[in-house]
Structure 1
Amino acid sequence: MPTLWRLSMLLAFSLSIGGCEPAPEDTGSSTPAASASAGEASTTQALSPEQAAELLNRSQAATKMLKSELKAALTQSLQSQGTVAALSVCKNMAPAIAQKASAEHQLAIRRISLKNRNPAAKPDNYEAEVLEKWLAEQTKDPSAARPQSVQTVVTEVITTDGQQIGEQTVFRYMEPLYIDKGCLQCHGSQLQPKVQQSLNQLYPEDQATGYEEGDLRGAVSVSIVLPTAAAGNKS
């Protein structure tokens, strides 16, 4: 399957939207995108205002769908069956919900983390840069306002077997996820023995523990490949 690598940044800006609901992840820097703070915007000739708004709306709708449906499923499982059962629900349902949101909104959506539980949730270069920037800001000043989202248009190189076969323009959107008290049952430092045993079985390479309430957990990441005409449109 072709691998995408970031070639250059065409647009970067962050937006202030509603706060995000944290959810345990499974699979859903100094760059211009990562350095922009909430409320700032840079001009671009890549997209018209109408196109940018439509892409943002789709990304936010898909993100809301993924977060709300997964949270509802996890909450129901936690209340009816307990933490161990919820781990299996998250493992099995998170990818299905992400696929549903992707199909409904015609995009690719997933959750990613620098300390991923599922290896498939490992961030790509762009995602890692944004997460590292957010994490550095939180570490420097835990009381500072949290980033709400970042959206970017990038040109990516398409490669297969190490050979470049083309380029494409992609709209990228990321919304951070934070650890709340309930997340500590599966992501904290002191896990119940049965929970730890289940994690060892489900995720042998698990890195997603040791968090404290309020920590940056990761992000929801959206990608939308732009048609050539849209990518080249002048505003």
Structure 2
Amino acid sequence: MKALLRAALICTLPFSTTLSADDHFAQRLQDSREAVQSFARALKGNLQSVLQKKGPAEAVEACSSIAPLIAMTKSKSYSWKISRTSLKLRDPDNAPDTWERAVMEQFEARKTKGEDVSKLEYYEVVEMDGNRMFRYMKAIPTLEKPCLTCHGSNLRPDVAAALDKHFPNDKARGYKAGDIRGAFTIIQPL
């Protein structure tokens, strides 16, 4: 009887370890989703406030300082790297690395096949500089409002001038509602 119990215990040990690892992985995914939602809410709330109080040209100036500050604050609060990136950059500091570029190209292919942009996400564990990292990306859909105010084709002259002043190498214009504007990206050390 003891031998049978010992055998049963030995047989279930690998499964309990796997379940624990899967639970840990699922928790990282959930935490990443929550971090992205928190980042998006903070960014959108700040931008909408400035848009309503001061207008779109002032929102460009606010965005140039607010967005990096939000990314830094969220990164510190989670002890991860949390940022945004795009295939059409506004701020060169947000340039994608090789992994991010490949994921965004995958997002574009999935969008072309009909997937809902607001549901596009990707995650995996990768090796970076000899360390295992959990990486997560969530596509940023372009909405009619407020996104196209500063990212569309028909920009007001004062908005275009503010963009030229704050982002002289801006490529993040000409979007249409439903396009992939970029992506939130997270790196969590394991």
Sequence identity, in percent? 34
Q: CA deviation at 1:222?
A: 0.2
TM-score by length of 2: 0.84
CA contact (8 A) 1:113 1:219 kept: yes
Kindly indicate whether structure 1 or structure 2 has the higher relative contact order, using CA contacts under 8 Å at least 6 residues apart: 1
**Given the superposition, is the C-alpha separation of residues 80 and 58 from structure 1 closer, same or farther in structure 2, using an over 3 Å criterion?**
same
In the alignment of these two chains, the number of paired residues is 170
Q: CA deviation at 1:137?
A: 2.8
Match of 1:177 among 129, 140, 144: 140
Indicate whether 1:63 and 2:36 are aligned: yes
Indicate whether 1:119 and 2:92 are aligned: yes
Match of 2:86, as an amino acid? S
Match of 1:203 among 130, 150, 167: 167
Partner of 1:6: none
Dislocated runs of 4+, deviation >2 Å: 143-148
**Given the superposition, is the C-alpha separation of residues 117 and 57 from structure 1 closer, same or farther in structure 2, using an over 3 Å criterion?**
same
Output aligned runs, 1:215-230, within 5 Å.
215-226=179-190
- Structure number with bigger Rg: 2
Mind listing any 5+ residue stretches in structure 1 that lack a counterpart?
Answer: 1-44, 159-166, 227-235
Match of 1:145 among 102, 107, 116: 116
Q: CA deviation at 1:103?
A: 1.4
CA contact (8 A) 2:140 2:181 kept: yes
Mind listing any 5+ residue stretches in structure 2 that lack a counterpart?
Answer: 1-17
- Separation of aligned partners in 2, 1:191 and 1:169: 43
More helix, by proportion:
2
Partner of 1:102: 75
Match of 2:154 among 190, 213, 228: 190
More strand, by proportion:
1
RMSD between aligned residues:
1.5
